[in-house]
Amino acid sequence: MKKYDSKDIRNVGLFSHAGAGKTTLAEALLFHSGLISRKGKVEEGNTVSDWEPEEIKRGISIDLSVLPFEWLGKKINLIDTPGYADFVGNVLGALRAVDCGLIPVCGVSGVEVGVERSWAYLEQNQLPVFLFINKMDREGANFDKVLGEIQNELSAKATPLYIPIGKESNFQGVVDVLAMKALYFQADGKSFKEDAIPADLQNQAQEIHDFLVENIAETNDELLNMYLEGQTIEPELLKETLRQAILQRKLFPVLCGSGLTDRGVTLLGDALSHYAPSPLDRPPVRGINPKTKEEIDRKNNEAEPFSAYVYKIISDPYVGKLALVRVFSGKLTSDSRLFNASRETEEKVGQILTLRGKNQESVTEIGPGDIGAIAKINEIYLGDTLSEKENPIVFANLEYPEANYLSSIKPLGRGDEDKISLGISRILEEDPTIKEVRDPDTKEDVLYGYGDIHLDVLIEKMKRKFGVEVGLAIPKVPYKETIKGTTKVEGKYKRQSGGRGQYGHCWLELEPLPRGKGFEFVDKIVGGAIPRNYIPSVEKGVQEAMLEGVLASYPVIDIRVTVYDGSFHPVDSSDMAFKIAGSMALKKGCLECNPVLLEPIMNLEITVPEEFMGDVIGDINSRRGRILGMDPKDGYQLIRANVPLAEIFRYSVDLRSITQGRGFYKMTFSNYEEVPGQIAEGIIQKAKKEKEEAG
């Protein structure tokens, strides 16, 4: 592959709402760059970008895909990212590799939640943004309406470079408002016929031209003086100042067209080549020297010590692990040694690759500002910083939103138990947004993800890549039991069957503790009623009995047990006998103390747009939740609530539906509370039935 100087590289991330046409637009850019001779289609599963079997099956992007191509002598590294919120990990990874963002906005649907989310991520990272109003040839497409939404909901600095000629099926060209000329699409979708601006668009084009020139001029004092004095500004000077305004995020260019029918795609490619930042246009990358803990910067050039960031891991049982990297300084060469500054380990670099979808091509080096992949790695993971051992640097790692969608997993095939942990560990290397937890109370392995599609895809990948079949289910609730009353109870264990017998005898007092206090064991034996060496055995028997309560065999908590009397036999008494006596007393005593079922209550902090607040509060109330308070936060409303865990295993999907994808929440454990009587009865009966069926 041809080597490109840093000044000729454009790293562009493709971000948007699911269904806005990202993958189709990427396919059109590849086609018009001459890289592919035939465009693939999402519905046919033959696009360069979506090549994983799960993506083809579902017709959506799941993983990010790197799509380098050449346009007007520039290498454009386009990274296509998923639009579904379930796969946000890939979006956040891509943001660390790119220098600007391209957001397609549906010309019919307008600014959807995925567009808002993409804009927020790019704004947080202070990256320049290009907007492309897509699907302009579809019925119902409305450029002016969508442009208004962009300017009102995203930024008033969003400025059109082109406006459409015609609409829907009659979308036939665009007006270049900077050059003030009409460009009519030709049959090949690539070339244009220049002509005069249609009479019905002249006023609008002139208004936008003046608006654009004024916005450009305001970013440069010299140009502003020329503009205010009415002087003619040379087109090339306007273009160069426009580029600087885009790089400084003082202006966000808006283009339009259709990725499906190729209209306006070449103008988009030209704009990215002319106006998108090269790595040299971006500020130095800041990191930490792991030895001195001092902040240091690395400039995007070859003279600086080598540094790179791992923004994606691809695991394959046959090919091995691939680390996708963005080189920030220096250069990465094959057959060299790498220092992993994040883990303080060294690794031999064998093959270096450039990727285009699933296709791989070997290269000898990756220069500053470029992206590529390292093959067959061992101890390199997502988020690691690679550098020189003598000049180490560690870049800030990725921070992911908390995953709150829970499912328990169990093997479906014989002998798959051992394979599960291996399969999940390899999948977690690719997607650390997923978390696996072993619940000590329910004895279940629980996966945390962002939604049903997220975990379903993980399960499909495990089966395809590692041959492990796993089923998903709603997790069991880790209920507990406790007592509400007090009692004094006797536990006596006496056995005589020839030879030495068994004798253990104790009196216990049971009383409830405040919620969250756990367990207390108090020794009030006086006068040697029970020898000191048997007291621990009584406590052990009590604790073992607490593992299975008397209502539904759930663990008993928040209880104080006091041993205050008993008796012993000088020959027949033993640790085992007193342990059994303690266990018998605890179970009998719990039955006498008004036992109740407890359930875990979770703290929720739900952030939603104000217009959805009423619906969200109503939904929380329907889940037996309690609203604790509401506060304004960054234009949203923060709702604080307590809700039983049993009611919110699938809450992430429900909240997304209620708020049109605009709501999100954090969840933490709060406390245990008594389950209402009618609900508790159903839980108890179900637990008894399951125990009977289990034998």
Label residue 31 by pLDDT band (50, 70, 90).
very high
Cα distance between residue 552 and residue 133, in whole Å: 59
* Average pLDDT, integer, range 180-209: 90
The pLDDT value recorded for residue 373 is 94
Given pLDDT bands bounded at 50, 70 and 90, which one contains residue 468?
A: confident
What are 359-401's pLDDT values in tens digits? 888 899 999 999 999 988 888 999 999 999 999 999 999 889 8
pLDDT of residue 415: 67
427 and 391 within one domain: no
State yes or no: pLDDT of 416 exceeds 80: no
CATH of the domain at 337: 2.40.30.10
Inform me whether the pLDDT recorded for 436 exceeds 70: yes
Residue 132 shares a structural domain with residue 257: yes
What SS3 string covers 114-158?
Answer: HHHHHHHHHHHCCCCEEEEEECCCCCCCCHHHHHHHHHHHCCCCE
391 plus 463 within the same structural domain:
no
Local structure of residue 282 (DSSP, 8 states): S
Domain final residue, candidates 593, 618, 641: 593
- For the segment 611-627, the average pLDDT, to the nearest whole number, is 95
The domain in which residue 552 lies consists of: 480-593
What mean pLDDT comes out for the span 121-147?
Answer: 97
Q: What is the pLDDT of residue 559?
A: 97
Report the pLDDT averaged over residues 529-549: 96
Cα-based angle 591, 440, 411 (whole degrees, multiple of 5): 115
How much is the average pLDDT of 183-199? Answer: 87
What does the pLDDT read at residue 695? 65
Contact call for residues 136 and 167 (beta carbons, < 8 A): yes
Is 49 in the same domain as 152? yes
> Cα–chain-centroid distance for residue 371?
22
The domain total for the chain is: 5
In a domain? residue 237: no
133 shares a domain with 73:
yes
Quick check: 291 pLDDT over 70?
A: yes
Task: Measure Cα distances from 43 to 21, 23, 24, 114, 428 in Å.
Answer: 12, 11, 10, 21, 29
* 554 inside domain: yes
Q: What is the pLDDT of residue 509?
A: 97
pLDDT at 630: 94
Would you call 192 helix, strand, or coil by DSSP?
strand
Is residue 185 assigned to a domain? Answer: no
Question: Which pLDDT score is estimated for 385?
Answer: 96
| 204 belongs to a structural domain | no
Instruction: Tell how strand 158-160 and strand 252-256 pair up.
Output: parallel
**pLDDT cut 90: percent of the chain above it:** 73
pLDDT value of position 644: 97
- CATH code of 419's domain: 3.30.70.870
User: What average pLDDT does range 408-412 have in this prediction?
Assistant: 86
Residue 96 sits in a domain whose CATH number is 3.40.50.300
Q: Given 593, 611, 635, which residue is the final one in a domain?
A: 593
The separation between CA 488 and the C-alpha centre of its own chain, rounded to angstroms, equals 53
In Å, how far are 479, 643, 654 from 599, measured between CA atoms? 5, 10, 22
* Region 11-36 average pLDDT: 95
Mean of the pLDDT values across residues 221-233? Answer: 83
CB contact burial 105-129 (16+ within 10 A = b; e otherwise): bbbbbbbbbbbbbbbebbeeeebbb
Confidence of residue 410 (pLDDT cuts 50, 70, 90): confident
Looking at residue 148, its pLDDT comes to: 97
Residues 273 and 290 in one domain: no
Confidence bin at 317 (pLDDT 50/70/90): low
Angstrom distance (rounded) from CA 131 to CA 674: 53
Q: In what order do the strands lie in the sheet with 405-411?
A: 435-439, 444-449, 405-411, 470-473
Same domain? For 586 and 613 the reply is no
Instruction: Say what the pLDDT of residue 312 is.
Output: 95
Question: pLDDT tens, 81-98?
Answer: 999 999 999 999 999 999
**236 has pLDDT over 90:** no
Q: How many CA atoms lie within 13 A of 474 on its CB side?
A: 8
- Same domain (yes/no): 444, 382: no
Assess whether pLDDT exceeds 90 at residue 282.
Answer: yes
Q: How far apart are CA 669 and CA 375, in angstroms?
A: 42
The answer on pLDDT for 331 being more than 90 is yes
Helices within 377-496 (DSSP H only): 417-430, 452-466
* 312 and 451 together in one domain: no
Decide: helix, strand or coil at residue 575. helix
Domain containing residue 632: CATH number:
3.30.70.240
CB-count exposure of residue 278 (10 Å: 0-12, 13-18, 19+) = buried
Q: Is residue 533 part of a domain?
A: yes
pLDDT at 116 over 90: yes
Note the pLDDT of residue 498.
Answer: 66
Is 39 found in the same domain as 152? yes
Q: 687 or 561: which carries more pLDDT confidence?
A: 561
Q: Which residues pair with 639 in a beta bridge?
A: 606, 630
Query: Largest Cα–Cα distance in the chain?
Result: 117
Is the pLDDT at 507 greater than 90? The verdict is: yes
Q: Report pLDDT digits (tens) over 631-661.
A: 988 778 999 999 999 999 999 999 999 999 8
CA separation for the pair 378, 307 (Å, rounded): 19
Which tokens go with 5?
A: 């100087």
> What is the reported pLDDT for 1?
61
Q: To the nearest whole number, what is the mean pLDDT of the chain?
A: 92
Same-domain pairing of 347 and 495: no
What pLDDT does 258 receive? 96
Residue 243 lies in a domain: no
H/E run at residue 34? none
Of 67-76, 407-416, 552-561, 565-574, the least confident = 407-416
Q: pTM surpassing 0.75?
A: yes
Domain assignment present for residue 143? The answer is yes
Of 593, 625, 640, the residue that ends a domain is 593
| Residue 13 and residue 154 in one domain | yes
Task: Return the minimum-mean-pLDDT range out of 222-231, 299-308, 603-612.
Answer: 222-231
Residue 694 lies in a domain: no
- The domain spanning residue 549 has which CATH number? 3.30.230.10
Residue 444: strand, helix, or coil: strand
Q: Which tokens in the block code for residue 432?
A: 């650390």
